[in-house]
Every structure is written in structure tokens, then in C-alpha cells.
């Protein structure tokens, strides 16, 4: 599958930075979570409803991340999310964080679809699969 690239703007605030003067490495996971959430939202899926009504979570199962250049306070970033693969119970996302033309961070994340009550893997709901496979 080959979905389109979804991009979400994020500004760097004090809470994202550390004493090195740059964004703390762990916080890019927040930026990427934000872009994935807004991608699903743009397709009509509300993670709050999924969690509370269907007890459905997307949990990060594994990740690879490369930090190329640091982002700094008040930078405007563009955080992308592209679905690279839709498995039975898993989604693979390719994501980047850019500042203008510069790629600051690139990452691949695999998420598992999980029942919040049992923490067991469940199938990706058909409606979500269909929308993602349509090409996002």
C-alpha cells in the first residue's frame, strides 16, 4: 500500500526543550503521536471514542528513529505520518519531522491494535483498514 503523506504543524515550546537548548529526544514521540492522531481524525476516526466506546487502542510495538539535526525553541515543524503497511492487527507508519526543507528526524513505528481491557491484540477495525487502504 502506498498512502499519501499527512502533515501536521507543531511549534516547539519550552516544555519540549531541554538544558541542551534543543528538543529532548523523547519528545519527538509526542510530535509523531500528534500527527498520527490527526491523520486518523482527518479520516473520521476519533481516538477518544475508540478508547472509551470500543476499548480500542493503538499501542506502539516497536520503533526505529534517527535524529539528524536538533529542533530548537519556537521552531515551526512539519510532522508527517504515512501508513506504509496495514496488517491484520498492525499498522506500520513512516514519519518525519521537518523544519522547512531540512529533515530533522525520521522514524518507522509499528503499532498494534489492542483491546484495552485485556491488552490483547485484536484486528484492525474494517472501517479503518478500508480508509487507510484507499490511500489515506
CA distances from 113 to 1, 9, 18, 87, 107 (A): 18, 26, 32, 10, 19
For a copy of itself (CB under 8 A), the number of binding residues is 46
Calpha distance 75→98 (Å, rounded)? 10
Name the grid cell of 102.
531540512
Residues for the chain: how many in total? 136
Q: Does 120 bind a copy of itself (CB under 8 A)?
A: no
Percent helix, strand, coil in the chain, to 5, is 25, 45, 30
DSSP E strands in the chain: the ranges are 6-11, 56-67, 76-86, 90-99, 102-115, 120-121
Q: Shortest approach of a copy of itself to residue 41 CB, angstroms?
A: 8
Q: Does 61 bind a copy of itself (CB under 8 A)?
A: yes
Q: Does 103 bind a copy of itself (CB under 8 A)?
A: no
Q: Does 118 bind a copy of itself (CB under 8 A)?
A: no
Catalytic residue among 18, 30, 46, 115: 18
Active site residue 30: no
Q: Does 99 bind a copy of itself (CB under 8 A)?
A: no
Candidates 1, 5, 66, 135: give the one binding a copy of itself (CB under 8 A): 66
Applying CB under 8 A, the residues found at the interface with a copy of itself are 11-15, 17-22, 24-27, 29-30, 33-34, 37-38, 41, 46-49, 51-52, 57, 59-67, 70, 72-75, 114, 116, 119
Amino acid at each position: 500500500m502506498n498512502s499519501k503523506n499527512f502533515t501536521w504543524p507543531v511549534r516547539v515550546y519550552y516544555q519540549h526543550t531541554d538544558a541542551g537548548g534543543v528538543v529532548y529526544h523523547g519528545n519527538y514521540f509526542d510530535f509523531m503521536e500528534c500527527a498520527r492522531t490527526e491523520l486518523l481524525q482527518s479520516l473520521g476516526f476519533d481516538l477518544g471514542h475508540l478508547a472509551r466506546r470500543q476499548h480500542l487502542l493503538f499501542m506502539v510495538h516497536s520503533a526505529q528513529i534517527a535524529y539528524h539535526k536538533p529542533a530548537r525553541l519556537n521552531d515551526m515543524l512539519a510532522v508527517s505520518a504515512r501508513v506504509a503497511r496495514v496488517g491484520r492487527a498492525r499498522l506500520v507508519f513512516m514519519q518525519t519531522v521537518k523544519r522547512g526543507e531540512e529533515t530533522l528526524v525520521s522514524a518507522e513505528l509499528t503499532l498494534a491494535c489492542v483491546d484495552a481491557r485485556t491488552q490483547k491484540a485484536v484486528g484492525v477495525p474494517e472501517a479503518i483498514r478500508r480508509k487507510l487502504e484507499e490511500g489515506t
